Every structure is written in structure tokens, then in C-alpha cells.
Structure 1
Amino acid sequence: MGRDRGKVWLGAAGVVINANGQWLVVKKRYSGLKGVWSLPAGFVKEGETADEAVVREVKEETGIECEVTGLIGLRTGVIREVISDNMAIFYCKPIDPDQKITIQESELFEAKWLSIEEIVHGGEASVMLREMASNELVKHQLFRKDDINPGEVFEYSTYRLFFNN
């Protein structure tokens, strides 16, 4: 919570799944997630969309380049009855299936690919990660549509819609 983000936070997390069905997971060096498997994630920066933020965060933390194909869900909560903490969770796939993981050592202890079985029963996953891995998320994703313009009056420089097909 070092930087002042105000009282409404927006983060983005990526469920990056490889061709073997394994999930890309990280062990952070800080926060309540320190030392447990969680999703690559971070805060949305000024001038970027949430889906752009997750691509950036996955690349920064793990070196894996990915693309967003859908929205899985939203985690939302209030911290200490003051801070609105929100995270968009995106379904992503790696662009290069052979790309090697290179961790951001200042933020992570480790990053690796784990099977759903290892996440659910390994005993080292965050509550959110375990809950998500226990469900068939891919079947429930909202799909991304880029070629929409809601009208010049809104002055969007980037606009995307996620919806169920």
C-alpha cells in the first residue's frame, strides 16, 4: 500500500493457461499473499485499460507474453471499511508456448506452471486461487470485443466490451 492510490483501487489478474492446461502462478515477496501461490496481478495504471494492465503485469512479473481472450470475473471487497479493493480477473493465453519464465526478483520468490490438481490440493495456494481452480472457469468467461465505438461524444481513446456469447 506504499503508493497513494486513493480509496478506490482497481487491479487486474491473469489466469494464464498453457497448452497442457497448467496455470501460471507466482509467489509474492510481500502482502497477505507473501509465500503462497497466487495469480500474476497488479494495479491498473493511468492511461491503460484493465486488460492492458494484466498483459503488462504478467510480462513484468513472469516474462511471459500473453493475450487476453476473455474476462472471468471480478473480485471486490472493502478493506478496513474504507478502501474499495477491486480486481478484474482475465483469461489469458501465452503467445509463445515455449517461452521461459523469468521472474521479477524484486516482487517474486518464484513463478511456475502448476496443474489444477497441484493448485487445489497442494496446500500452498491462496484462497482465491484455490477457489478459482476448483471451478471450470473457461466455460464461463465473457468474451472480448474490440471493434466498438460508443460515439465520439465520449472521447474514448480505447474501448472494449466483455460479454457472454
Structure 2
Amino acid sequence: MGDAKRGNVWLGVSGLVVDENGRWLVVKKKYSGLKGKWSFPAGFVKNDETADEAVMREVLEETGIDTSLNGLIGLRTGVIKGEISDNMLLFALSPLHTNIKIQHDELMDVQWMHPDALLQDPNASVLLHKMAKEALRDTKQLTDGINPGDQFGYTAYKLFL
């Protein structure tokens, strides 16, 4: 059942982008289990990037919004049909501007919405509802510039603690 590109272990990223008015950047996908539902911009990590680089790329590609990284919020992990380990890291981001440019190939819509409105919207994903109830409690901050040892050969190494 696995995907030829991703195999049976998937690593995705998703970004909670919050503007100065407390609104969240949300998207409606044209495909997948989230088709027609509000969700966070998301996608898969490529082999030549770190997860935090991937989330900023995905948000930019889907919404046209450049972001800065605030930290790691959490992990969503599950197994699909007993065969695929599906993992997604959720990051907190700040927008560098608020001018949306929709990626029409993948998305129906992109909006800035207040979490209270998302709680009332039946088309908001389960994850959005949970996040809107919990808000931002414990963001893990980025620590960069650490070398765990040349013997590992890391070209990028980052901690979120």
C-alpha cells in the first residue's frame, strides 16, 4: 500500500500561522481526507530539507505567505490500515506579510480566520478544533548551530526543546 516516493513511513509538516490579530491561516484542500475542510497548510518533508524548512516551504507554496519560525507545537502520529506510519510535526509560525496567493492546483480556498470562528465551523478539521480549544500552551523553541559530532555527517542538525 505504501507510496513509491515515501515508502511506508511518512513525515509531514503543518504550520499554525498566527497574524497580529490572532487569526489563523487556514486552507481548504481539493483532495484527500481533508477535501473541503479547513486545515492548516501542510505537506511532506523532502529528502534534502529539515522539517522546519519544509513547513516554511509548504506554507509559502500553498498560500504565498512568507513566515518566520516560532517553534514546534506538537506531533500527530498514526498508522493507516496497519501498514503506513503517518507522522506530522506541527510548527508555530509568524507571517512576514498577510497577502494571500492561493495555490489553485491543490486548494479551493485560503483564509485568515479567528480560532473562535473555526470552533463554530463544521468544515474545520478535527485537528483545527482541538488546537482552537487548546490554543498555544507549550511551544518548543529552536536551538540551532549544534554539532553532535563530525562522525555523523549531518549537513543540518536542529533541536526543538
Secondary structure at the counterpart of residue 57 of structure 2: helix
Count of residue pairs the alignment pairs up: 160
Structure 2 match to 1:11: 12
Q: What is the deviation of 1:129?
A: 1.1
Structure 2 match to 1:52: 53
Could you give the per-residue CA deviations for residues 109-138 of structure 1, whole angstroms, max 9, x where no partner exists?
Answer: 00010001011112210011111111122x
Q: What is the deviation of 1:5?
A: 1.3
Structure 1 match to 2:117: 118
Distance of aligned partners of 1:3 and 1:101 in 2 relative to their CA distance in 1, 3 Å threshold: farther
Secondary structure at the counterpart of residue 117 of structure 2: helix
Structure 2 match to 1:94: 95
Structure 2 match to 1:146: 144
The amino acid of 1:58's aligned partner reads V
1:38 lines up with 2:36 in the alignment: no
Name the CA distance, whole Å, in 1 between partners of 2:135 and 2:129. Answer: 12
Name the CA distance, whole Å, in 2 between partners of 1:66 and 1:53. Answer: 12
Name the CA distance, whole Å, in 1 between partners of 2:153 and 2:3. Answer: 32
Secondary structure at the counterpart of residue 20 of structure 1: coil
Structure 2 match to 1:134: 133
Report the aligned-residue RMSD.
1.2
Structure 2 counterparts to residues 19-38 of structure 1, below 5 A: 19-38=20-39
1:78 lines up with 2:79 in the alignment: yes
- TM-score, length-scaled by structure 2: 0.96
The amino acid of 2:20's aligned partner reads A
Name the CA distance, whole Å, in 2 between partners of 1:75 and 1:6. Answer: 18
Q: What is the deviation of 1:23?
A: 0.4
Which runs of structure 1 show a deviation greater than 6 angstroms over 4 or more consecutive aligned residues? Answer: none
Distance of aligned partners of 1:110 and 1:3 in 2 relative to their CA distance in 1, 3 Å threshold: farther
Secondary structure at the counterpart of residue 9 of structure 1: strand
The amino acid of 1:41's aligned partner reads A
Unaligned runs of 5+ in 1: none
Name the CA distance, whole Å, in 1 between partners of 2:69 and 2:4. Answer: 27
Name the CA distance, whole Å, in 1 between partners of 2:12 and 2:68. Answer: 17
The amino acid of 2:141's aligned partner reads F
Name the CA distance, whole Å, in 1 between partners of 2:128 and 2:17. Answer: 12
Aligned-residue identity in percent:
53
1:109 lines up with 2:97 in the alignment: no
Name the CA distance, whole Å, in 1 between partners of 2:125 and 2:4. Answer: 24
The amino acid of 2:22's aligned partner reads G
